Amino acid sequence: MITFTSFSLRKLLSAQSVALLLGSLQTISAQSTVCSVAADFSSAISIGATPTTSVWGVDRKAPNAFTSPVNFAGDNRLKQSISSSEATADSYFQTQGRSLILPGGVTSMDIELYIPSDWQTSGRRMAGLWGVGYNTNTNSDDDISAYPIIEFTSEGGTARFRAYNPVGGNNGWIDMGLPAGFTYNSWVKLRMEVLASGEVQYSAGNLQATSTAFSADGTIRLGQVILQGHNTSAGVNYDIYWDNFCAGAVGAAPAASGLTVSVPLGSTPACTAVLTGTGNGTKFVFTGPNGYVYTYVYRDFGSRSVSAVGVKEPGTYTLTVYGPAGDLITQNVNVTGQSCQ
């Protein structure tokens, strides 16, 4: 399903994963995408010949399959299949994918790509996130200014992510390598962002690269997303799995500060303590000993002062503040005293 919203809490923040995030992460990057288009592929997508804002249309040549939801690795995904039945000697049409028109104002997008172990030694281009950049606010072919691409390949015998930069050497590619801690049979988030300079910053996991070719044409936004696979003249058969697509503008980072025990434990007849903190975000969650949880959720990103009441136990309490794209930051405070009866 594709949704047009002011922000999206994607599957990254499912009920099952929030507890893990709270326990393992302190901060995520200061800049993240606030989704105006989000797809977790838990329901059927629409495909057709021509792309629209709700229909994935053909780019170059249609892949053999492009469908969701498909259960893979324990969740619903988008499955894109490349088949020998679609083999062609025309190298242009060996690139086989589908595209979606994006609404105005999109400057960044990201998606998760599954990298199976057999891609390491395929010796081919396997899958890529493509964008279409424009230098105006209209989707006219005359206003196309960039074709940013980030993809996984093992051409030449070296498995790597690479980013398209159509100037200089290396046939227009920036080789990025593999992310730190990368393992096969796992997901990697691919991302691209149009910078104020008109260049595009790419990332694959914790890898980053920046183009040098697009600013001359004044790129200001991304007007289309394309998910591509690659066939050959002899024909190949493989599947590509995508998940958690997000496209929008870059949003402000969450912030948390000043977490204090504003009413100490046992200092009033009620006995319970009160915690107070401030921050910038859309969701504020206090957690503590014995399953303590106190939550505020807001429709819009903003600066707020929040309090948690009913604190009965001493120990370490955490305030987690979420940004509109699901990024988060935490702050801790220690509550002392005797437990309330």
CA distance 312 to 202: 47
From first to last of the 341 residues of the chain, give the pLDDT tens digit. 443 333 333 333 332 222 222 222 223 334 567 788 999 999 999 999 999 999 999 999 999 999 999 999 999 999 999 999 999 999 999 999 999 999 999 999 999 999 999 999 999 999 999 999 999 998 889 999 999 999 999 999 999 999 999 987 788 999 999 999 999 999 999 999 999 999 999 999 999 999 999 999 999 999 999 999 999 999 999 999 999 999 988 877 788 889 999 999 999 999 999 999 999 888 999 999 999 999 999 877 778 999 999 999 999 999 999 887 677 889 999 999 999 98
Q: Last residue of some domain: 198, 222, 251?
A: 251
Residue 142: how many other CB atoms lie within 10 Å: 8
Q: Last residue of some domain: 194, 223, 251?
A: 251
User: Same domain for 205 and 278?
Assistant: no
Report the helix count and the strand count for the chain, using DSSP H and E.
2, 23
User: Same domain for 16 and 164?
Assistant: no
CA distances in angstroms from 249 to 31, 132, 208, listed in the order given:
10, 15, 19
User: Same domain for 59 and 5?
Assistant: no
User: Same domain for 201 and 338?
Assistant: no
Q: Last residue of some domain: 224, 251, 278?
A: 251
Q: How many domains does the chain divide into? A: 2
User: Same domain for 266 and 213?
Assistant: no
User: Same domain for 195 and 262?
Assistant: no
279: CATH: 2.60.40
pLDDT digits (tens, 9 = 90+) for 168-223: 778 899 999 999 999 999 999 999 999 999 999 999 999 999 999 999 999 999 99
The SS3 call for residue 157 is helix
User: Same domain for 97 and 240?
Assistant: yes
User: Same domain for 162 and 237?
Assistant: yes
One DSSP character per residue, 280-320 reads EEEEEEEEEGGGEEEEEEEEEEEEEEEEEEEE-S-EEEEEE
193: CATH: 2.60.120.560
User: Same domain for 42 and 160?
Assistant: yes
Instruction: Cite the DSSP H helix spans in the chain.
Output: 15-24, 91-94
User: Same domain for 228 and 121?
Assistant: yes
User: Same domain for 220 and 335?
Assistant: no
Q: What is this structure's pTM?
A: 0.71
> Containing domain of residue 145, as a range?
31-251
pLDDT digits (tens, 9 = 90+) for 214-260: 999 999 999 999 999 999 999 999 999 999 999 988 877 788 889 99
User: Same domain for 209 and 333?
Assistant: no
Evaluate whether 304 touches 331 at the Cβ level (below 8 Å): no
